[in-house]
Amino acid sequence: MTDDPHALFAQWFAEAKAGEPNDAEAMALATADAEGRPSVRMVLLKGHDERGFAFYTNSGSRKGLEIAANPRAALLFHWKSLRRQVRIEGPIEPTGHEADSYFASRSRDARIGAWASDQSRPLESRAAFEARYEKLVAEFAGKEVERPVYWWGYRVLPERIEFWTDRPHRLHERRLFVREGESWAESLLYP
């Protein structure tokens, strides 16, 4: 047992990366607009530490606009083969300059793709998107592909982290950690 949910997450995440057959980094990200209308989609975890859980996206996308209007989010990791899930809730903030180093670590094609996509906006055809991408490949030939100003990193700052483990007869185990100042309070929840 641990009283540090970040250490427990790191342990579970390492086990998921070793044992989950597909995308242990995949997490459902739930946001809501200014009127409280929810939206959820899958994104990839790109970093986690005691500060929180980071991912990257176009700030002009639907999720980016919802985060700007209502800077709170929920995450869900579901590792089906391990019969575990982790739920995280809290405010969200930009990662700052970390976005530059992460963007630089992406493949050149993925960096150009970030320039080519008006994420979440209507697209007239797949061919139009591919033509736009090819045009940018030519424009960036021999040049560094810098991070677009609209491509940001975000970090969910956890206030609640719940660890769920499947148990026989639906007698599941649910451990809830709630932030209290600089520390965490742990409790159990009925399944």
Residues with a catalytic annotation lie at: 170
CA 59 to chain centre: 13
Cβ contacts of residue 11 below 8 Å, gap of 6+? none
Structure tokens at 38: 């929810």
Question: Which one, of 73, 43, 71, 70, lies nearest residue 58 by Cα?
Answer: 43
Strand blocks (E) in 4-130? 26-32, 38-44, 47-49, 52-58, 72-79, 84-94
Q: Cα–Cα distance between 82 and 55 in angstroms, integer?
A: 23
Q: Cα–Cα distance between 143 and 125 in angstroms, integer?
A: 28
CA torsion 61→66→71→73, rounded to 10°?
Answer: -90
Structure tokens at 35: 């009127």
